[in-house]
Structure 1
């Protein structure tokens, strides 16, 4: 029997382009919020700004899904990478000339909006570039690329930020996005042009209607899965995004380099999780996905314990770093499993929109959680462990509730 090959020319070039682009993105995601936190020393403001930056990502995910099904996905990637390089250039010129907080909000909103529009094109291109038999391994590879960037980005960003400040990080990110865009020009992704007979807004509305109609009639179980993802993002993903910088920098008083190590552990965990998912892709059972969520909940609980006063700060830091690794490892395996199931059960002409809809709706709750946790960490500064422990307990309950939903998802195959 012929063995399906993953790393053909175009998929390999997509992977390399993702490595370069996401590396620049990871450094920015590390450096810009940290710069804001250092300059303002306010966890509530930090939470509010990061929350507001996620809103355009949700909105533009829908638009990105529609565009991904109508425009050549390669062209979308190229245009958005060049656009990102331009935005960072403008930010560098404006830094010090405009008020920091409004400038940071605008830039982060633009960057996350671009990310929201970008990812549906990447996800929708995978089934077009790899064969069905190795689709799960293709998804695992893209996840590994993302997490490898998340591993190296914070570590390198922490060192650069600690020694040289923000400027070299901005220049390095601009170079990464330009190189990625130029490389992506030479990628060929199969595309069947679809003629839009109405205006852009009507087209978006009609395409999204088609997506929701498909989910409602053909795959209603997808709605339950999206609901679980939204709840988990609200409770646990949000507390990780806001909590790790606050815990490491403000509560434990560690350095920027230490924060880079902690967030680099997230990337390393994702890399290991992606490797494991690729190795055991055929053996991942959808009905057991709730176990991944349970492990994330337990890891968050242990992070909370690490913040208690009887735990030395240095030990607390390494416990948080280890649990960050564990959380990202299992959550990556969870993501590979879910994305593969959705891709296998969705028609190609709806794939971009369905993937974008799932990502966008499940992420809607995350900004609310980030803003809430920013306030909670500031109000409960004397007892930060209560925030993490409380979030872990709620997330544990959600994980147990999801068991029946994932069982039904596998049964519907």
Structure 2
């Protein structure tokens, strides 16, 4: 790519589209579980629905990268944003008409599944939009947009939900996803169709197999990192996603706005973590972190 500047026309459109789409996504992901918890008052149902909603995201996140490599990335983003808008429109029309638990399970599974494809597609489009020297900067901008949306979305969503209820949030989300899809139509992402004779299932299977073999043979450290992150997400992240809303809403009987503030504080921690990683990344290698932790652990156990 000949263009050396970071903010090209196409990258600017992607950034603006991400700001709009991720903002709508953030307030929606905050408001829907909160509405379910407020309506049913059941922490068990809240946990079940939340767990079910993440299942398609886990699978489709693996497939999302493969699809982004094989199909036009711009078209994938446009189609997914339009589908998301249609899904939220359906929810708006079906609310108070269908049983809330199965309705929310289906809707959240679709939304999280779409997210599992959408985000890898955006990340995969970056090398085609900016020069090789600007890829890291462009990726950092996209990631920070996501972090900021997670920071501001719950605060705004909590204020809107506490004051006006779920309907305005659904309406705002529909507008956001529609605007984002329309804007993405004008993005030009270079695309060259591959001549694959295999069906999609075989393609996905082969690509995932190649990725696993690469990690096993070339970058085994990636497997350790994936396992560590998976365990962290399985235990601690799940506790925060389900436990904090139940604690604030059901046990402490606090307001929706305060729940939004608490969720934003968690997002702020992630944002600060990303900044610290960028600043201290060269000093904090995995062996050093492991050694310091073991040294700290043995020192503390020796004194107890």
TM-score range, shorter chain: 0.7 to 0.9
Per the alignment, residue 156 of structure 1 pairs with: 156
**1:311-330 matches, cutoff 5 A:** none
Change in 2 beyond 3 A, CA 1:215/1:183: same
Per the alignment, residue 11 of structure 2 pairs with: 11
**1:177-326 matches, cutoff 5 A:** 177-274=177-274, 280=279, 284-285=281-282, 287-288=284-285
Q: Gaps spanning 5+ residues in structure 1: where?
A: 295-396, 402-413
Moved more, 176-185 or 262-271: 262-271
Distance 1:17 1:276 in 2: 27
Aligned length in residues = 291
Per the alignment, residue 97 of structure 2 pairs with: 97
Per the alignment, residue 166 of structure 2 pairs with: 166
Change in 2 beyond 3 A, CA 1:197/1:136: same
Per the alignment, residue 60 of structure 2 pairs with: 60
Distance 1:64 1:102 in 2: 26
Q: CA deviation at 1:60?
A: 1.1
Distance 1:94 1:198 in 2: 40
Q: Does 1:20 find its partner at 2:11?
A: no
Per the alignment, residue 409 of structure 1 pairs with: none
Distance 1:42 1:286 in 2: 46
Q: CA deviation at 1:262?
A: 1.5
RMSD (CA atoms): 2.4
Moved more, 206-215 or 228-237: 206-215
TM-score (norm 1): 0.66
Change in 2 beyond 3 A, CA 1:239/1:286: farther
Q: CA deviation at 1:215?
A: 2.0
Per the alignment, residue 302 of structure 2 pairs with: none
Distance 1:77 1:284 in 2: 31
SS at match of 1:206: helix
Q: Gaps spanning 5+ residues in structure 2: where?
A: 295-304
After superposition, the C-alpha distances for 1:31-64 in whole angstroms (9 at most, x for unaligned) are: 0000011111122221111011000001111221
Q: Is the 8 A contact 1:27 1:156 kept in 2?
A: yes
TM-score (norm 2): 0.88
Moved more, 132-141 or 178-187: 132-141
Per the alignment, residue 147 of structure 2 pairs with: 147
Q: Is the 8 A contact 1:144 1:271 kept in 2?
A: yes
After superposition, the C-alpha distances for 1:250-283 in whole angstroms (9 at most, x for unaligned) are: 23221011111222223444455555666x3xx5
Q: Is the 8 A contact 1:129 1:189 kept in 2?
A: yes
